[in-house]
Structure 1
Amino acid sequence: MPLVSNAKNLWRKSIHLHDPFNNHNMGQDVAARHTDPVTLVIIGCGQRGKKYAAYALDEPTKCKVVAIAEPRPKTRKSFADAHHVDQTLVFNTWQDLHQASADTIKTVGKRLADAVIIAVQDHMHLEVALAFAEQGYHILCEKPMSTNLDDCLKMEAAVKKAGIIFGMGHVLRYSPYSKALTEVVRSGTLGQLINVVHIEPVGYYHFAHSYVRGNWAREEESCFSLMTKSCHDIDILCHWLSPGTPTRVSSFGSLQHFRKISKPPAAGSATRCFDCAHEKECPYSARKIYLDPVSQGNTHWPASTIVDGVPDIENITSALKHGPYGRCVYECDNDVCDNQVVNLEFSNGATATFTMIAHTSLICERQTRLHFSHGEIVGDMNTFTVTNFRTGQTKKHVPKNEGGGHGGGDTGLIRTFVEAVRTGRQSVLGTDVSQVLKSHLTVFAAESSRREGKVVDCFEFEKEARKKVII
């Protein structure tokens, strides 16, 4: 790894390749004045960082990855190799990258790139965002903004102060499916939107991977599951029902199944799948979820996320024998909800209900019904059917799926963010940091309702939250 102090000459050599802005006033939202690719820094080269950065490989004339920070050596090397990142701009930690940026701003008068993509663990989002916003970088932050409400408010303030373009990983907004559906909602052809019923089927093994064995299993180390998994579902409900805003919310939910009390008797005292007599009959078997797919040539998610480097049989077997992903799901220390319902009332009188449920065969393929005064829409993230009560006609829409995660939403978001940076227009993203914060506030209010067993007034909730934070 290069030492920060040894990289200055190569920063100078490389900086002329990606200098779209006049940095005399770095905090201002300045449109790019060139046709060169938008340059990106990737902080965190795991699954989400790779998803967003893939756009640079698919559309090299649109954007280019010029610097990265990633602590895992094999992941770091493969990412840097894939994007041909100069070794002087490959860092072990985001702090080293940030220092390199500070040095090049001081000595050369330029940032290392146009924008930063923040794809580190959720609890780190605020400190990374504050550091790079202060240096004037535009920011695309993976969801959620942060794991506590105070930090979300601080991020909003920092982004506003810096005057930068800000994108949030609310990818549901940007898929071809959602954009086509939203177009029908906004057209007014079905009249007033009165009610939405929205379900997220997380998927039985997806939940076991991420929220029982994985990084989002414990609230103390991450956040509650409604935030880490479903904040973009609440966001798209707010998007569809705008300009109405949430006024009241109630919520119910708990951890029902992934507990020791639910452990099959045949599993006995086994704490790891490789030692369990019941493993072959268990749907949550680590062997079934990770090892069997790899043995059949499927080295993608989720197996690719549990090792540093190539997810081959040897590496996966070792990870399952010794690491967290080989544990019995009934013997883990997880504590986040595996089912939750949210009821919302909006300022325009509309209502919405949202359900997050772990125990499904579908993996994140949301199911939605939108009820209007003169029609309805029924969709499943792949197709949606519009019924117009006035004409009696029903039409099925099949938006083109561009590939990539979330029905093309991952690609849609990064494409839109890059265009917003290129043009210097926040409006290209269709939202801003305050609207992003508003939907996060709604999620926090829902969790407050679940914990306290009461209906929460969203306006009062925000008022009290802002009073407590010193910015």
Structure 2
Amino acid sequence: MSLPLRTVIIGAGQRGRHVYGAWALHNPNAMSIVGVVDPIDERRAAVVAEHKVVAGFGKLDDFLGSGIGADAVIIASPDREHEQAAVSCIEAGYHVLIEKPVAHTFDGVQAIAEAADRTDRVVAVAHVLRYTEFFQVLHDVVRSGRLGDLVTVTHRENVAAWHMAHSFVRGNWASAAESSPMIVAKCCHDFDILTWNLDSPIASLTSNGSLFEFKPDRSPAGATERCTSPCPVSDCPYDARRIYLDQSYSGWPVHVITDDPSHEGRMAALEQGPYGRCVYTAGSDVVDHQVVSMELESGATATLIMHGHSHEEQRTMRYDGTRATLRATFGASQVVEVIDHVTGQAESIPISSRSGGHGGGDEAMLAAFVDSVRTGHDTLATPSNALAAYELAFAAEQARLTGDRIVVREFSV
């Protein structure tokens, strides 16, 4: 039996501790956490306790200079720290898994891809959708030719309203200047799916979107600065008390706001921390809806729609070709349906029920990363094959800000 992959977690937050760290605890023969890097003492201490780790570091440089015996690192730190951490760890000779987005600028993504191309180590990107059975089935159908020539594609990222409020209004991605534009942070792996599936490159794009709802002038009458004041608005969809105080649930997003899941611990977090703020005065400056219209070199068109006002967390897709139409839903239910244009018959393609994050993508990605390190097999998502997705994401944000039509081949010149 192969020894477990000795891994250091860089960034002990939600993804680092509760996804990657948790997977290692459940798969001790595949991965062992031997170190953690995080500037917050409590976060480091939690990982040390859970994994019996002897090496905790407050700074990246302290880890890199430590000589700790490790094979790999997982970078799950804030977006703006990814480039330095990834390039440094690649150059230090570690296998590297990078949480999405790869970097907060396109130059940063390119720098990481160039560093990855110079090493013989495995460098993988956490574009977890590629690792799900759902998106692999979708890819196989689209690329099989069964739909005929693609004419138009619609891909919707429907973010649940409570998720929008949690992550992009009150949370870590509420400020583009401190993290990444929402179209990059949320949809980099949606663009990745499109570039993976489409048989023709994107030639040009335009984009429109704005912050529609989460502004002071949209605030209901009588709303208070915090939901715990208490706020008299009884029917607010974003009431933090409704989102976080349900004692029947203690997973994400509750463990993001506090390490004390008791009612008292949750209330203290809402009263004192960012997640109890009124969404209308919290100060978010990222969009809550954005549309990207793309023209392929083939003449076909594609549209990506992202918004934060859905009743449920769900991606929906439609691919219309000259011979058949594909409709698909990726959410609580997973459905891929193909309707033939000649017979009119619809075939529903079965998708196995998968537990875990992102429809099983988190777990499959981690298993694939370990396998790639052990065997040398290629990973599905690398910085190099992700470049096209990030080029589109950053070009879309530029198009939204400027109102320009962006010619993609000229964007990164």
Report the TM-score, using the length of structure 2 for normalisation.
0.94
Structure 2 residue identity aligned to 1:372:
G
Q: 1:366 aligns with which of 299, 308, 315?
A: 315
CA distance in 2, matches of 1:182, 1:153: 25
Aligned to 1:78: 46
Aligned to 1:149: 106
- Tell me, yes or no, if the aligned pair for 2:213 and 2:288 is still in contact at 8 Å: yes
2:348 equivalent to 1:396: yes
Following superposition, the deviation at residue 221 of structure 1 comes to 1.0
Indicate the SS of the match to 1:356: strand
Aligned to 1:30: none
Aligned to 1:299: 250
Indicate the SS of the match to 1:352: strand
Indicate the SS of the match to 1:358: strand
Indicate the SS of the match to 1:328: coil
Map 1:158-307 to 2 at 5 A. Answer: 158-242=115-199, 244-267=200-223, 270-291=224-245, 293=246, 296-307=247-258
Question: More displaced, 383-392 or 164-173?
Answer: 383-392
Aligned to 1:316: 266
- Tell me, yes or no, if the aligned pair for 1:193 and 1:370 is still in contact at 8 Å: yes
- Tell me, yes or no, if the aligned pair for 1:177 and 1:401 is still in contact at 8 Å: no
Q: Greater Rg, structure 1 or structure 2? A: 1
Indicate the SS of the match to 2:359: helix
Aligned to 1:28: none
CA distance in 2, matches of 1:387, 1:316: 48
Structure 2 residues without counterparts, runs of 5 or longer: none
Aligned to 1:42: 9
Deviation string, structure 1 residues 354-396 (Cα, Å, up to 9, x no partner): 1111111112x10111122211211111121122335543221
CA distance in 1, matches of 2:134, 2:269: 37
Deviation string, structure 1 residues 38-91 (Cα, Å, up to 9, x no partner): 222211122211313333233332222222223334433333333333x1x233
Aligned to 1:96: 62
Indicate the SS of the match to 1:162: coil
CA distance in 1, matches of 2:231, 2:52: 48
Question: More displaced, 64-73 or 397-406?
Answer: 64-73
2:374 equivalent to 1:422: yes
- Tell me, yes or no, if the aligned pair for 2:126 and 2:381 is still in contact at 8 Å: no
- Tell me, yes or no, if the aligned pair for 2:188 and 2:390 is still in contact at 8 Å: yes
Structure 1 residue identity aligned to 2:99:
E
- Tell me, yes or no, if the aligned pair for 1:197 and 1:353 is still in contact at 8 Å: yes
2:349 equivalent to 1:385: no
CA distance in 2, matches of 1:314, 1:321: 10
Higher strand share: 2
Runs of 4+ in 1 over 6 A off after TM superposition: none
- Tell me, yes or no, if the aligned pair for 1:137 and 1:164 is still in contact at 8 Å: yes
Change (3 A) 1:315 1:361: same
Aligned residues: 409
Indicate the SS of the match to 1:331: coil
Following superposition, the deviation at residue 319 of structure 1 comes to 1.3
CA distance in 1, matches of 2:84, 2:46: 26
- Tell me, yes or no, if the aligned pair for 2:130 and 2:380 is still in contact at 8 Å: no
Map 1:422-461 to 2 at 5 A. Answer: 422-425=374-377, 427=378, 429-461=379-411
> Aligned-residue CA RMSD in angstroms?
1.8
Structure 1 residues without counterparts, runs of 5 or longer: 1-33, 105-111, 464-471
Indicate the SS of the match to 2:32: strand
CA distance in 2, matches of 1:461, 1:190: 31
Change (3 A) 1:276 1:458: same
- Tell me, yes or no, if the aligned pair for 1:176 and 1:401 is still in contact at 8 Å: no
Aligned to 1:61: 29
Following superposition, the deviation at residue 348 of structure 1 comes to 3.1
Indicate the SS of the match to 2:118: helix
Indicate the SS of the match to 2:338: strand
CA distance in 1, matches of 2:137, 2:118: 34
Following superposition, the deviation at residue 142 of structure 1 comes to 0.6
Structure 1 residue identity aligned to 2:324:
G
CA distance in 2, matches of 1:64, 1:320: 34
Question: More displaced, 218-227 or 49-58?
Answer: 49-58
- Tell me, yes or no, if the aligned pair for 2:125 and 2:381 is still in contact at 8 Å: no
Following superposition, the deviation at residue 138 of structure 1 comes to 1.5
Structure 2 residue identity aligned to 1:368:
M
Report the TM-score, using the length of structure 1 for normalisation.
0.83
Indicate the SS of the match to 2:179: coil
CA distance in 2, matches of 1:172, 1:204: 21
Structure 2 residue identity aligned to 1:176:
E
CA distance in 2, matches of 1:424, 1:147: 29
Structure 2 residue identity aligned to 1:48:
R
Indicate the SS of the match to 2:355: coil
CA distance in 1, matches of 2:156, 2:283: 27
Higher helix share: 1
Deviation string, structure 1 residues 217-267 (Cα, Å, up to 9, x no partner): 11111121111111111111111114x222101100000000000001132
Change (3 A) 1:443 1:94: same
Identity of aligned residues (%): 38
CA distance in 2, matches of 1:93, 1:246: 40
CA distance in 2, matches of 1:383, 1:375: 16
Deviation string, structure 1 residues 149-195 (Cα, Å, up to 9, x no partner): 22222222222223432211211111111112212223223323332
- Tell me, yes or no, if the aligned pair for 2:130 and 2:381 is still in contact at 8 Å: no
- Tell me, yes or no, if the aligned pair for 1:146 and 1:152 is still in contact at 8 Å: yes
